[in-house]
Structure 1
Amino acid sequence: MATSLLSGVAFGAALTASGVYHPSVILEQLKLADWSMLETFLTATASSTLLISAFHAANLVKLAPRSYSGLGFFAHYDGNILGGALLGAGMALSSSCPGTVLAQIGAGIWSNGLPTLVGAMLAGILWTGYLRPWLLLRTCKLGEGHEGSSKKRERSKTVHEALGISKYIATAAFEGLLGAAVAGLTWLSIASRAPSSSLPDGGSAPWSETIARAARPAAGGLLIGLAQLASLLLRGSAVGVSAAYEDAGEFVWWPFYSPGSESDSESESDSSSASKDSRPILKSSSILFATGIVFGSRVLAVLTPGLLDTTSAIPDIPVWQAVLGGFLMVTGARVAGGCTSGHGITGMSLLSVSSFVTIGSALAVGVLTARTFL
């Protein structure tokens, strides 16, 4: 339990030090007005990919690729598309994601963080009590309807399996693409700052200062990569946040289950798991990890306040909008089976096809929402 808390502390401190916790950074990225969040995210994914690959090669951990989320509407990955869309819309409306909202609270941005957290918790409760059982029952009925048909071909979960190439070649190519993207974004940042970086006395800001500012998002991504390292070392698993809201919802519903027996609702595959006939096994590790994010952000804010972003204005988001955004992003994350950390930083590091689909959908809808309505 302590390892989960400490891993969360490291992740929360990294999110805060990198600056991506700030609502304005998230909103400006989705409006395509500033690219520092994407640069941080890509650097974090690149470092996470190296770490997870090294741990796999050394047989220190074995992380399975992210599974597809299928709702049975139009494709075996329709849950990733629809869930990602809800996640992206919620991120735009709340200027948060399931992990950064916790860092916002730790850093003292309560005007945005608290109502977003309320919406996120409501989503966890509704998901656990109603939406998840309904989807389980639906998928069970769809499975029964396919009985007797020929066995479906096992779908490739990873990019290298889908392309039929070596895992190491795919990983190297992915690292190359991420490195080129980060280098390009850094260069664009330097080019945009250099002509206008004038000082009050009419002089120009030193190139070293300009380069340092442009490279700050990438440095933040490396810090998040170190937090991934802490999670791998301390608890043998990778970072992911949105499951904490689901597990918290399970605590709310637990007294209403029949006390006769206990079962792990995530491991049951029959329709009885979608009912309230038995109590699920309560899990606290993800909740402790999420709690650690708040503590880590708070500790950093108290000990090193200079690292906090005090220059960017906090967006004036109505309470109802923040609550709605928090609700949508956590609902979407659970439908898709992960959020920007679970699918984004970890899932993409594992070259999971479902993670690329989810994050692509989230970014597309998040940008569309921010540029159209905000």
Structure 2
Amino acid sequence: MNLSLSLFPLGWQHYLLGGLIIGSGAALLFVLTGRIGGMSTVFSSSWSYLVQRPFFQQGRFVDSRGWRLAYALGLILGALVWWLGFAGGVREATAVPAWQLLVGGFFVGYGARLGNGCTSGHGICGLGSLQWPSLLAVLTFMATAFLTANMAARWLA
């Protein structure tokens, strides 16, 4: 079987298009506003609305939470538009319960904040501006993801 078909049974073009759109969006945000489009700070700045602890009330979170929340909502709405317009509204199914997805999402956000960034900040914005720490972070993220995926595949098999 063709390797491309086994890795990308639905094709690779939509992945390329998605990457170009995400990269263009991050570049436009930086060029037009000077802001970095990473998502891990969205986690902390969003919590600054609810949690009054000093960490979440830092100026860098409170002063930027309005545009960061709008940025996150734009990503969600963009995914909705894509789903309705290009995916034909086809619903993907998962056997994972909604509460586990929410808990997992919380831990991903917390881990990204703990790691001083995530793949969007380091992988798209940091690598795009040739930052050495971002390269190390992305290599660490990817190695951890490969290891976790292989361990989970063996554990669940």
Q: SS state of the match for residue 148, structure 2?
A: helix
Partner of 1:310: 90
- 1:249 equivalent to 2:47? Answer yes
Q: SS state of the match for residue 129, structure 2?
A: coil
Shift of 1:251: 1.2
Counterparts in 2 of 1:299 and 1:266: CA distance versus 1, 3 Å: same
- Write out aligned runs for 1:143-222 (5 A): 188-189=3-4, 213-222=11-20
Q: Can you list the C-alpha shifts for 1:231-285, whole angstroms capped at 9, x where unaligned?
A: 134423232112111011111124x77xxxxxx7257xxxxxxxxxxxx844322
Partner of 1:96: none
Shift of 1:226: 2.2
| Cα distance in 2 between the residues matched to 1:343 and 1:240 | 7
Partner of 1:356: 135
Shift of 1:309: 7.8
CA RMSD of aligned residues (A): 3.2
Q: Percent identity?
A: 27
- 1:236 equivalent to 2:16? Answer no
Q: In structure 1, what residue type is equivalent to 2:72?
A: A
Residues 38, 120 of structure 2: 8 Å contact kept:
yes
Counterparts in 2 of 1:231 and 1:298: CA distance versus 1, 3 Å: same
| Aligned residue pairs, count | 148
Counterparts in 2 of 1:364 and 1:219: CA distance versus 1, 3 Å: same
Residues 242, 330 of structure 1: 8 Å contact kept:
yes
Q: SS state of the match for residue 253, structure 1?
A: coil
Q: SS state of the match for residue 38, structure 2?
A: coil
TM-score by length of 1: 0.34
Partner of 1:225: 23
Counterparts in 2 of 1:220 and 1:300: CA distance versus 1, 3 Å: closer
Equivalent of 1:295 in 58, 74, 77: 77
Q: Can you list the C-alpha shifts for 1:54-84, whole angstroms capped at 9, x where unaligned?
A: xxxxxxxxxxxxxxxxxxxxxxxxxxxxxxx
| Cα distance in 2 between the residues matched to 1:296 and 1:214 | 20
TM-score by length of 2: 0.73
| Cα distance in 1 between the residues matched to 2:144 and 2:17 | 27
| Cα distance in 2 between the residues matched to 1:289 and 1:341 | 13
Residues 228, 239 of structure 1: 8 Å contact kept:
yes
Counterparts in 2 of 1:293 and 1:214: CA distance versus 1, 3 Å: closer
- Write out aligned runs for 1:100-179 (5 A): none
Counterparts in 2 of 1:298 and 1:291: CA distance versus 1, 3 Å: same
Counterparts in 2 of 1:372 and 1:245: CA distance versus 1, 3 Å: same
Q: In structure 1, what residue type is equivalent to 2:4?
A: S
Shift of 1:365: 1.9
Residues 123, 138 of structure 2: 8 Å contact kept:
yes
Partner of 2:123: 344
Q: In structure 2, what residue type is equivalent to 1:189?
A: S
Larger Rg: 1
Shift of 1:292: 1.5
Q: In structure 2, what residue type is equivalent to 1:285?
A: W
Q: Can you list the C-alpha shifts for 1:132-177, whole angstroms capped at 9, x where unaligned?
A: xxxxxxxxxxxxxxxxxxxxxxxxxxxxxxxxxxxxxxxxxxxxxx
| Cα distance in 2 between the residues matched to 1:328 and 1:308 | 31
Partner of 1:285: 67
- Write out aligned runs for 1:82-93 (5 A): none
Partner of 1:265: 58
Q: Which runs of 5+ in 2 are unaligned?
A: none
| Cα distance in 2 between the residues matched to 1:330 and 1:348 | 20
Highest RCO, 1 vs 2 (Cα 8 Å, sep ≥ 6): 1
